[in-house]
Structure 1
Amino acid sequence: MTVFHFTGIKGSGMSSLAQILHDSMNEVQGSDVEKYIFTEEPLVERKIKILPFDADNIVPGLTVIAGNAFPDTHPELVRAKELGLEVIRYHDFLGHYMDQFTSIAVTGSHGKTSTTGLLSYVLSGFTPTSYLIGDGTGKGVKDSRFFVLEACEYRRHFLAYKPDYAIMTNIDFDHPDYFKDLDDVMDAFNQMAMQVKKAIVACGDDHHLQQIKANVPVVFYGFDEANDFFAKNVVKTSDGSSFDVYVRNEYFNSFAIPSAGDHAILNALGVIALSHYEGVPVDIIKDRLSTFGGVKRRFTITEYDDKTIVDDYAHHPTEIEATLQSAKQKYPDREIVAIFQPHTFTRTAALLDSFAASLSHADSVYLCDIFGSAREKSGTLTIDDLVKRVPGAKHLKIEQIAELEEHGNAVYLFMGAGDDIQDYMNAFKRLIEQGETA
């Protein structure tokens, strides 16, 4: 039996892959920082051993899977090479692993995680399906027909994959520490498209995706009636959205989803199109769409007596706008308070004005210090550069968290990709809970 060691096992993709290999009857262990990260919860549930980083973790007989965040000079990877062990990067391993299934890669600048989670849930109601979701959730299912995976464009890692299908949600400029400009991003997605074997399901409302080049059919979805699959007669309420779907101008069926926001309808359309293409009965699609509970850190709601806290991974202006739109649909009569921590100095600098524009849609805005990355230099940029651009925004330190209580029965949106925003949210939750028990 192969024993897999994951260097960086708490990474969102790494945690998911470790779960899949464990579920597939492999022996799995891993190492990471000792700080708590939410992605470790399913590892602990499976009793997968998590060790602190240490070269001594590496012993003969292991196959080492290395997280993309860790250089070849990491002590564990150096020791593995000294022992002559196989060291394989996360995305390279995944590229080989997926070949045994009908594989579906979900990619795009935004919406990957939610769409991967939704597609996995729908297909699992039809036939055994294994999946890897970027929220740290993975599952290996015996005799799986499908393998659904989230495919990230960062550093072109998704080019390690040659999937049967791809769902492409959108193309936007992001990861400015790697991509030079939007044309560079487009080039990466075009390279990915050329590697797809059967078909691409792409959002036709995104004009960048309209330009995608591929050797396989491209099926478009969206609100525009020029798309192959389009939504019409949309009804939005605080409980979600309902809509009719037309396939090449012919009525197909009506669907309802519990999620709010246009982006949630678009994600559902992509899943409907792919499922229809693979012969999933419409009654299964309808039932699974209507009962999907969401994925971690994507509009995750905690309700208190008079306050609502939403945890969301939004860390790009487009995602912030989508999250705010969802909040206003779900809570039309409540004040929307945005608490946002920018993720990386390079992204904040490159998109500073766009961040300001998206955040201005909230009723009140609090901004936390920028979450820096180990791979970048901060330069002279600070959170004050963003505070000055958002009318009425305030710089919030964690010791000032009680200031949020002045907004009473508001909806508090905690948004960001770094770990620190979770600390802010948990501090505010503790404050509320103390007040309720006092």
Structure 2
Amino acid sequence: MSFEGINSVHLLGIGGIGMSALARWFRHEGYAVSGYDRTPSQLTDQLISEGMQISFEDQLDTIPTEIRSSTEKVLIIWTPAMPKDSIQLNFFREGGYQLKKRSEVLGIVTSTYYTIAVAGTHGKTTTSSMVAHMLKSAGKPVIAFLGGITQNYQSNLILGEKKGKDQPLVVVEADEFDRSFLRLHPNEVVLTSADPDHLDIYGEEQQILNGFLEFVNLVDRKGRLYIQQHAAQRLGEAKLPKVAKREYGLRSSGISAENIQARPGSFVFDYLDGKNEIKGLELFIPGFHNVENALAAIAISLDHQISVEQIRKGISSFKGVKRRFEIHVNEGNQVFIDDYAHHPEEIKACLSSVRAMFPAKKLTVIFQPHLYSRTRDFAEGFSESLSLADSVVLLDIYAARELPIAGVTSAMLLEGINTNHKELVAKEDLMSYLDQASPEVLVTLGAGDIDRLVPEIASWMKEGLNRYAL
């Protein structure tokens, strides 16, 4: 299928990070774009300002007239997050409209263009954003569908200028949730990690490994596979596709990083791959895990004939992704970092990097667990990772799409956390707690709504610094 004959696109769940990137692409391509979402957000405000018609009431009369009056030239894109009793969704289903899931639409796009697909339990948003930025900053035509808002472009859609007849390279974040990445048609694949997650979908660890294995085997036989060393071990070398493979990792025998230096606002490292050595690269999104993500982006850049000087410029100019090791305050004796980490391995990577950057400072972590099932399945791992901090504050579990599970609460993590201080704090009491605690290095973690507290925490810390200066 192609999009020939379509002139209007209506997205159900348009405010989602993946759906909004598609909405922006269709708008850029000249389609009339409208949609529905349950609640307004900063992202939906931006989409409206970009010319899209969005409603927040699941009613028929909020659907644009041109969408309701014709089925022939309309594409409806929906997300599985839509409730089964949605009035709009059922209207479109019963009315003979052409309905496609977001993953199906991305499948169509990736079947049309040369595609670099980035997957992994963690690291895929930063890595795909970095790959896209490296290509764009080097002047390559690019289209990137991302799972986060890039700081360089303030968008989850990156568009590069077309160069004559050159077709754009598509960079897409390949999401393992609901196995949606299996609809893609990648020419190149990056697998950043293959740790167990989404066990509410996959059931057991081996099933998610099977899902990643099925995904990497989608790669075009003339393409390339860039795979993190531990992910390769977990999937089994013998089961990987028979294509050009580039293994990478901080200590990989393939592509590796040496002479890593953790600085207060950056990491400096050397890139080595057996053929190329690039010394003194400086990455201004700190973290050992981000150095590892950069290895994949650099390897792809070299394979696409991007020069060493362009690579050096691309790495140093990359500003990261919102809520991925995002430093909000770093002045005086106080630091505030916010991160989307919601899996034990992500928390471990984040806190290990913070420790390396600020080894002499007291580290306080505020963590909001995401999903009852994930908290239950990885309780021991969460407690172990959080023990890297000096002080741990736990908020209540963010339920997201789930109903409560008996006996599963944030409190179940406390006993296994080995720190000097640990406690539960209600979200509404958090600012009062911070007033009393006066943290030196503060890190907020979680994939729920903890991000809504970030501006207030940042303002609170900056106000304190100003008072101290006076």
Per-residue deviation, 1:82: 2.5
Structure 1 residues 75, 103: closer, same or farther in 2, change over 3 A?
A: same
TM-score by length of 1: 0.92
Matched, 1:7 2:9: no
Per-residue deviation, 1:331: 2.8
Instruction: Give the Cα separation in 2 of the matches to 1:214 and 1:24.
Output: 35
Per-residue deviation, 1:388: 2.9
The aligned residue for residue 424 of structure 1 is 453
Structure 1: runs of 5+ lacking an equivalent: none
Of 41, 49, 56, 2:53 maps to 49
CA-to-aligned-CA distance 1:29-55 (integer Å, 9 cap, x gap): 21112243x543542442322211423
Matched, 1:284 2:310: yes
Of 171, 177, 180, 1:157 maps to 180
Matched, 1:236 2:262: yes
The aligned residue for residue 393 of structure 1 is 422
Of 209, 215, 225, 1:200 maps to 225
CA-to-aligned-CA distance 1:311-344 (integer Å, 9 cap, x gap): 2100001111111122223333332211000000
Report if aligned partners of 1:205, 1:224 keep a CA contact under 8 Å in 2. Answer: no
Of 116, 119, 133, 1:107 maps to 119
Secondary structure in 1 matching 2:18: helix
Structure 1 residues 332, 9: closer, same or farther in 2, change over 3 A?
A: same
Per-residue deviation, 1:97: 1.2
CA-to-aligned-CA distance 1:374-422 (integer Å, 9 cap, x gap): 3444222111111233243111112322111233251221111112x12
Instruction: Give the Cα separation in 1 of the matches to 2:101 and 2:37.
Output: 16
Within a 5 Å distance, the mapping from 1:9-408 to structure 2 comes to: 9-36=14-41, 38-40=42-44, 42-56=46-60, 57-58=62-63, 59-61=68-70, 62-126=74-138, 127-136=140-149, 137-141=156-160, 143=162, 145-197=168-220, 198-206=223-231, 207-209=233-235, 211=237, 212-227=239-254, 229-248=255-274, 250-254=275-279, 255-303=281-329, 307-391=334-418, 392-401=421-430, 402-408=432-438
Secondary structure in 1 matching 2:200: coil
Secondary structure in 2 matching 1:243: strand
Report if aligned partners of 1:106, 1:168 keep a CA contact under 8 Å in 2. Answer: yes
Instruction: Give the Cα separation in 2 of the matches to 1:32 and 1:348.
Output: 28
Per-residue deviation, 1:205: 4.0
Per-residue deviation, 1:86: 0.9
Deviates more, 1:348-357 or 1:274-283: 274-283
Instruction: Give the Cα separation in 2 of the matches to 1:274 and 1:173.
Output: 26
The aligned residue for residue 3 of structure 2 is none
Instruction: Give the Cα separation in 1 of the matches to 2:49 and 2:142.
Output: 21
Per-residue deviation, 1:436: 7.4
Structure 1 residues 160, 263: closer, same or farther in 2, change over 3 A?
A: same
Report if aligned partners of 2:365, 2:444 keep a CA contact under 8 Å in 1. Answer: yes
Report if aligned partners of 2:329, 2:458 keep a CA contact under 8 Å in 1. Answer: no
Deviates more, 1:425-434 or 1:8-17: 425-434
Secondary structure in 2 matching 1:50: strand
Deviates more, 1:287-296 or 1:401-410: 401-410
Report if aligned partners of 2:362, 2:440 keep a CA contact under 8 Å in 1. Answer: yes
Structure 1 residues 437, 290: closer, same or farther in 2, change over 3 A?
A: closer
Secondary structure in 2 matching 1:393: strand
Residue type at the aligned position of 1:345: Y
Deviates more, 1:212-221 or 1:101-110: 212-221
Instruction: Give the Cα separation in 2 of the matches to 1:174 and 1:214.
Output: 23
Instruction: Give the Cα separation in 2 of the matches to 1:436 and 1:294.
Output: 25
Instruction: Give the Cα separation in 1 of the matches to 2:338 and 2:403.
Output: 26
The aligned residue for residue 152 of structure 2 is none
Instruction: Give the Cα separation in 1 of the matches to 2:327 and 2:267.
Output: 18
Instruction: Give the Cα separation in 1 of the matches to 2:361 and 2:54.
Output: 42
Per-residue deviation, 1:166: 0.8
Instruction: Give the Cα separation in 2 of the matches to 1:121 and 1:175.
Output: 29
Per-residue deviation, 1:191: 0.7
CA RMSD in angstroms, aligned pairs only: 2.2
Aligned length: 434
Per-residue deviation, 1:192: 0.6
Per-residue deviation, 1:431: 4.5
CA-to-aligned-CA distance 1:129-162 (integer Å, 9 cap, x gap): 1111101511344535211111111121100101
TM-score by length of 2: 0.86
Deviates more, 1:427-436 or 1:229-238: 427-436
Per-residue deviation, 1:427: 4.2
Per-residue deviation, 1:95: 0.4
Structure 2: runs of 5+ lacking an equivalent: 1-5, 150-155
Report if aligned partners of 2:289, 2:349 keep a CA contact under 8 Å in 1. Answer: yes
Of 425, 440, 443, 1:413 maps to 443
Report if aligned partners of 1:238, 1:332 keep a CA contact under 8 Å in 2. Answer: no
